[in-house]
Amino acid sequence: MARIRVLVVDDSVVIRKLVSDLLSEDPDIEVVGTAVNGRAGVQKVALLEPDLVTMDIEMPELDGIGAVRQIRATGNRVPVIMFSTLTERGAVATLEALAAGASDYVPKPANVGSVGRSMEQVREALIPRIKSLVPRAGARPTHVGTGGSVPPTAAPTLRAPAPPPVGGHRLLVIGSSTGGPEALNTLLSGLQPLPVPIAVVQHMPPVFTRQFAARLDRQLPFEVTEAADGQVLRPGTVCIAPGDFHLEIVVEGRSFVARLNQAPPENYCRPAVDVLFRSAAAVAGPAVLGVVLTGMGSDGCKGARDLVDRGGSVLAQDQATSVVWGMPGAVTTAGLAERVLPLGDIPGEINRRVGQPARATAFTTPAGGTR
């Protein structure tokens, strides 16, 4: 079996050695080269034709964002994983890199007392992502923080759709992980103003979710916020679960309300899609539409089953348009998806199912009232 060929791009000799050494320890991975900055990295991508690139963000001559843009400008779709700092500045730069075409990111170790622990943190975050982005038949299984991936040969099994709920959908919930930031941007950009609240779980650290919500809020024609505990979820607005907090939806009076907690991670994730979907199923049942987008692992599958068991509907992104078909693939192969669609077709399907004529202004709440 051919090993996964990786190019390491970083201006720090320490980081280049650390990453190269830990990757070389894995029998499925081969480090085929290193580069000291983005300009050299672009050249070595063309020369070495690696299967995947790890890329620092801040580098001299050409930074990681510029390097990704140049690689993508040539039509090269090689997966690129960015190394990012867990700071406001690092979050902004990482989101720019993802918008430029990077596939995923890994936080740099912070506040770690030993080189050994630093290497372990990077190994735990990086190697599963490499193997998900560049699957190899027969590759040895690796512990993946968000669960296992779905074999690309798995055949889709579609669930027969239930009759539309009386009064239509009242809540839209979305889950995503690897590749999710740009997938969410694409999906939300294609939505018409909807008469329902939208709640999102995207696997991200705390600072990143705040910056991600702010970025979407600037780009989209409707309000996007990072969810706050006790926040009333209003129709036509989007709330994104904050990093390191589960997001649940409860009913208070006649409104859907966001509740945050730091209960143990599920699927090694906090926030977890399963938690959001399970709570939505409990309060709105058949009036919930769930959407599972690209992502590593299987988070969202159990929550999707909760939705289906209570009469809700689930859509899944197809394999061809997913950066990693782990999460939507798990939902699909479990027979929980009513439709498996290319990313570009999902907004239209949501608009068709959830949209109402412009004259409809009342919002029916779970308690049966309007506001």
Based on the fold, state whether residues 126 and 178 are members of the same structural domain. no
How many Cβ atoms from other residues are within 10 Å of residue 59's Cβ? 23
**d(C-alpha 64, C-alpha 9), whole Å:** 9
pLDDT of residue 363: 36
Does 143 participate in catalysis according to the annotation? Answer: no
- What six digits make up the tokens of 215? 């970025």
Based on the fold, state whether residues 63 and 8 are members of the same structural domain. yes
Query: pLDDT of 186-230, one tens digit each?
Result: 999 999 999 999 999 999 999 999 999 999 999 999 999 999 999
Alpha-helix residue ranges (DSSP H) falling in the chain: 13-24, 38-48, 64-73, 88-100, 115-133, 180-189, 206-219, 273-284, 301-309, 327-333, 346-354
Asked whether residue 126 is assigned to any structural domain, the reply reads yes
Asked whether residue 241 is assigned to any structural domain, the reply reads yes
CA distances from 297 to 1, 131, 158, 178 (A): 23, 12, 20, 9
Which CATH number fits the domain that encloses residue 310?
3.40.50.180
pLDDT of residue 158: 66
Q: In the listed set 133, 154, 189, which residue is the last one of a domain according to the structure? A: 133
pLDDT of residue 155: 52
Based on the fold, state whether residues 25 and 118 are members of the same structural domain. yes
Catalytic residue among 177, 255, 279, 313: 177
Domain membership of residue 92 as a residue range: 4-133
**d(C-alpha 108, C-alpha 277), whole Å:** 31
Based on the fold, state whether residues 48 and 117 are members of the same structural domain. yes
**d(C-alpha 112, C-alpha 120), whole Å:** 10
Based on the fold, state whether residues 14 and 126 are members of the same structural domain. yes
CA angle 177, 7, 4 (to 5 degrees): 70
How many Cβ atoms from other residues are within 10 Å of residue 37's Cβ? 18
Asked whether residue 139 is assigned to any structural domain, the reply reads no
Based on the fold, state whether residues 197 and 339 are members of the same structural domain. yes
pLDDT of residue 108: 81
**d(C-alpha 280, C-alpha 198), whole Å:** 11
Does 299 participate in catalysis according to the annotation? Answer: yes
Based on the fold, state whether residues 342 and 242 are members of the same structural domain. yes
Asked whether residue 178 is assigned to any structural domain, the reply reads yes
Based on the fold, state whether residues 49 and 102 are members of the same structural domain. yes
Q: What is the pLDDT along the chain (371 residues), one digit of tens a residue?
A: 789 999 999 999 988 998 999 999 999 999 999 999 999 999 999 999 999 999 999 999 999 999 999 999 999 999 999 998 888 899 999 999 999 999 999 988 765 566 677 778 888 999 999 999 998 755 554 444 443 444 444 455 666 555 544 447 999 999 999 999 999 999 999 999 999 999 999 999 999 999 999 999 999 999 999 999 999 999 999 999 999 999 999 999 989 999 999 999 999 999 999 999 999 999 999 999 999 999 999 999 999 999 999 999 999 999 999 999 999 999 999 999 999 999 999 999 999 999 754 333 333 344 444 43
pLDDT of residue 1: 72
- List, in order, residues 6 or more apart from 300 with CB less than 8 Å away: 175, 273, 274, 277, 290, 292, 327, 330, 331
pLDDT of residue 87: 86
Asked whether residue 368 is assigned to any structural domain, the reply reads no
- What six digits make up the tokens of 263? 């209960």
Please give the tally of structural domains in the chain: 2
Q: Pairing mode, if any, of strands 246-252 and 255-261?
A: antiparallel
DSSP 230: T
DSSP 258: E
Based on the fold, state whether residues 183 and 316 are members of the same structural domain. yes
Asked whether residue 108 is assigned to any structural domain, the reply reads yes
**d(C-alpha 128, C-alpha 104), whole Å:** 12
Asked whether residue 229 is assigned to any structural domain, the reply reads yes
Based on the fold, state whether residues 311 and 231 are members of the same structural domain. yes
Asked whether residue 148 is assigned to any structural domain, the reply reads no
Q: Considering only CA atoms, give the Rg of the chain.
A: 21
- What six digits make up the tokens of 93? 């730069």
Catalytic residue among 11, 51, 63, 299: 299
- What six digits make up the tokens of 144? 């993946």
Catalytic residue among 103, 203, 279, 322: 203
pLDDT of residue 157: 60
pTM, rounded to two decimals: 0.89
**d(C-alpha 179, C-alpha 323), whole Å:** 5
Based on the fold, state whether residues 296 and 214 are members of the same structural domain. yes
Strand, coil or helix: 253: coil
Helix then strand then coil, in percent of the chain rounded to 5, is: 35, 20, 45
On whether the CB atoms of residues 11 and 35 are closer than 8 A, the answer is no
Q: Name the phi and psi angles at 259, rounded to 5.
A: -125, 130
On whether the CB atoms of residues 165 and 287 are closer than 8 A, the answer is yes
Query: pLDDT of 300-341, one tens digit each?
Result: 999 999 999 999 999 999 999 999 999 999 999 999 999 999
Q: In the listed set 80, 107, 133, which residue is the last one of a domain according to the structure? A: 133
- What six digits make up the tokens of 241? 């679960």
How many Cβ atoms from other residues are within 10 Å of residue 350's Cβ? 25
**d(C-alpha 176, C-alpha 291), whole Å:** 9
On whether the CB atoms of residues 38 and 67 are closer than 8 A, the answer is yes
Based on the fold, state whether residues 109 and 256 are members of the same structural domain. no
Chain centre distance of CA 307: 20
Which CATH number fits the domain that encloses residue 22?
3.40.50.2300
